[in-house]
């Protein structure tokens, strides 16, 4: 595959968007997915790709200290882990710029800690190397069509606008989609070069990038490129066709310096065309130009590649309470769990994961697609469906749990009914509690007979700042 690779794992911070899961300061990287820390999935992907030198970039010294302690005391594997902290609220491009001195390999991969995938990274890296690319992004198919999530007359939400070449190898257009953006401007040079572009919103960026070392030079020359996804990748895609003769137009001191959002300013080699508004809810929109394609092999050009995962491959990021809950339930599918490296031993007869040490009372039922961790106790007539229960959980009698995640040492007394909830470590639900679409913070007690809908039940949060390394 070429020279040895390094990995930069953006480990984030406490994950402010996941409150109350982070109420006690537990880093995002150590939150449980199928009863094992989130970080273990990314590390396994790197181990499979035989990338041994891994830099863990953490937001804030407190997060770095906790992840360093976990790596020292809990991690068992062949990777060489080194932890670096960056200031809280650092965006991903800024964080990469700050740790550049620790990157010595000619090529490296940047990956977010919150991604869980069964895509083999070695395939992505091999494609990047063989194409001699400056950057290669991992794309996957969105689970749901944006059309089903969009009201008539409104642009699709939380999508990337992507155009690939005819072979689906090269990124020729890439724009993340802030909700405030109503119009997408296409560079005229790009449209002239390719003749016809199909802008797609059915692909998602997974924040995994294989990068050439030269990209670090771009980051240092362009301090305004704060985010890898929002700034750096659009910038590289826009300027990948710069020939050797025109390279001076892209230098930081040139009058043609592009702006931070990737749109060229006056004097640059690719002027934007007219604004094209994408049809609301559309997965595809095509635009044509009569000019013939320009030779892609022109000397001095760089290459921004795309690696598109197969539709059946799994890519999911735990960036919200909803996705945290969904991913927990999805990865305990027995077949998928095997591909992702879930450590628990499956019960093939019942298509679930119930540890041998679990005590199950009379007439209790754990359905397929569930996980119950070691040391848990279920009373009589309990029903567990599409849920994950952590180690040492204790359930009384007549407890019903549907579409829930219970972390370690949760106590649920008799007659409780839970649906679409996340119950954090050490929480206690007294008798006959009814919760739907709720989150219960660590160590919180819900009073007997209480009924709650769509609420966060937690102790008053301490003053804190967002500590994610942003995309």
DSSP string, 58-100: EESHHHHHHHHHHHHHT--SS-EEEEEEE-TT-BHHHHHHHTG
Question: Rounded CA gap, 224 and 243, in Å?
Answer: 23
Burial class (CB in 10 A: 0-12, 13-18, 19+), 156: buried
Question: Rounded CA gap, 342 and 404, in Å?
Answer: 18
Q: What is the structure's pLDDT at 267?
A: 29
**pLDDT over 70 (residue 235):** yes
Question: Rounded CA gap, 372 and 404, in Å?
Answer: 12
Question: Rounded CA gap, 253 and 230, in Å?
Answer: 23
Question: Rounded CA gap, 49 and 402, in Å?
Answer: 37
Specify the length of the chain in residues: 471
Q: What percent of the chain has pLDDT over 90?
A: 66
Phi, psi of 219 (to 5 degrees): -60, -40
Q: For residue 191, what pLDDT band results from cuts at 50, 70 and 90?
A: low
Q: Report pLDDT digits (tens) over 301-356.
A: 578 999 999 999 999 999 899 999 999 999 999 999 999 999 999 998 899 999 99
Q: What is the structure's pLDDT at 182?
A: 58
Contact 319, 114 (CB under 8 A): yes
Confidence (pTM) = 0.85
Q: What is the structure's pLDDT at 26?
A: 87
**CB atoms inside a 10 Å sphere around CB 301:** 17
Phi, psi of 72 (to 5 degrees): -75, -40
Cβ neighbours of residue 462 closer than 8 Å, sequence gap 6 or more: none
Contact 324, 318 (CB under 8 A): yes
Distance of CA 186 to the CA centre of its chain: 27
Q: Report pLDDT digits (tens) over 112-160.
A: 999 999 999 999 999 999 999 999 999 999 887 555 555 666 666 778 8
Question: Rounded CA gap, 227 and 397, in Å?
Answer: 50
**pLDDT over 70 (residue 246):** no
| Bridge partners, 228 (sequence order) | none
Phi, psi of 123 (to 5 degrees): -70, -45
Q: Which of 129, 83, 90, 130 is nearest to 109 (CA)?
A: 129
Show the domains of the chain with their CATH numbers. Answer: 135-313 (no CATH), 334-457 (2.160.10.10)
Question: Rounded CA gap, 201 and 207, in Å?
Answer: 16
Q: What is the structure's pLDDT at 168?
A: 81
Burial class (CB in 10 A: 0-12, 13-18, 19+), 126: middle
């Amino acid at each position: 595959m070429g020279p040895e690779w390094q990995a930069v794992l953006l480990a984030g911070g406490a994950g402010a968007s996941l409150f109350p899961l982070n109420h006690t300061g537990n880093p995002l990287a150590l939150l449980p997915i199928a009863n094992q820390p989130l970080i273990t999935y990314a590390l396994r992907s790197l181990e499979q790709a035989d990338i041994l030198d891994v830099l863990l970039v953490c937001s804030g010294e407190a997060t770095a200290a906790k992840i360093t302690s976990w790596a020292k005391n809990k991690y068992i594997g062949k990777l060489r882990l080194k932890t670096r902290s960056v200031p809280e609220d650092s965006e991903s491009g800024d964080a990469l710029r700050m740790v550049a001195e620790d990157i010595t390999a000619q090529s490296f991969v940047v990956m977010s800690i919150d991604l869980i995938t069964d895509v083999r990274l070695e395939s992505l890296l091999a494609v990047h190397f063989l194409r001699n690319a400056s950057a290669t992004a991992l794309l996957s198919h969105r689970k749901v069509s944006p059309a089903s999530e969009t009201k008539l007359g409104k642009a699709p939400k939380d999508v990337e606008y992507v155009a690939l070449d005819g072979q689906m190898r090269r990124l020729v257009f890439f724009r993340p989609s802030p909700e405030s953006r109503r119009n997408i401007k296409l560079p005229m040079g790009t449209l002239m070069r390719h003749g016809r572009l199909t802008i797609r919103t059915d692909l998602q960026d997974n924040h995994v990038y294989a990068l050439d070392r030269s990209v670090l030079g771009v980051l240092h020359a362009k301090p305004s490129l704060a985010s890898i996804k929002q700034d750096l990748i659009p910038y590289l895609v826009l300027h990948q066709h710069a020939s050797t003769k025109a390279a001076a137009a892209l230098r930081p001191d040139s009058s043609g310096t592009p702006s931070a959002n990737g749109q060229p300013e006056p004097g640059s080699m690719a002027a934007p065309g007219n604004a094209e508004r994408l049809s609301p809810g559309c997965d595809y929109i095509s635009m044509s130009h009569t000019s013939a394609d320009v030779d892609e092999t022109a000397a001095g050009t760089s290459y921004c590649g795309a690696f598109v995962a197969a539709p059946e491959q799994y890519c999911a990021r735990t960036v919200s309470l909803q996705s945290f809950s969904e991913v927990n339930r999805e990865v305990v599918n027995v077949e998928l769990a095997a591909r992702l490296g879930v450590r628990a031993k499956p019960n093939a007869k019942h298509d679930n994961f119930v540890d041998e040490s679990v005590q199950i009372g009379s007439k209790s039922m754990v359905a397929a697609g569930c996980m119950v961790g070691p040391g848990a106790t279920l009373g009589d007539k309990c029903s567990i469906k599409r849920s994950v229960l952590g180690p040492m959980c204790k359930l009384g009698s007549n407890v019903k749990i549907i579409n829930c995640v219970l972390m370690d040492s949760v106590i649920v007394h008799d007659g409780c009914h839970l649906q679409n909830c996340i119950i954090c470590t050490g929480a206690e639900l007294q008798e006959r509690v009814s919760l739907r679409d709720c989150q219960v913070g660590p160590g919180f007690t819900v009073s007997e007979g209480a009924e709650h809908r769509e609420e966060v039940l937690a102790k008053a949060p301490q003053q804190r700042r967002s500590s994610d390394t942003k995309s």
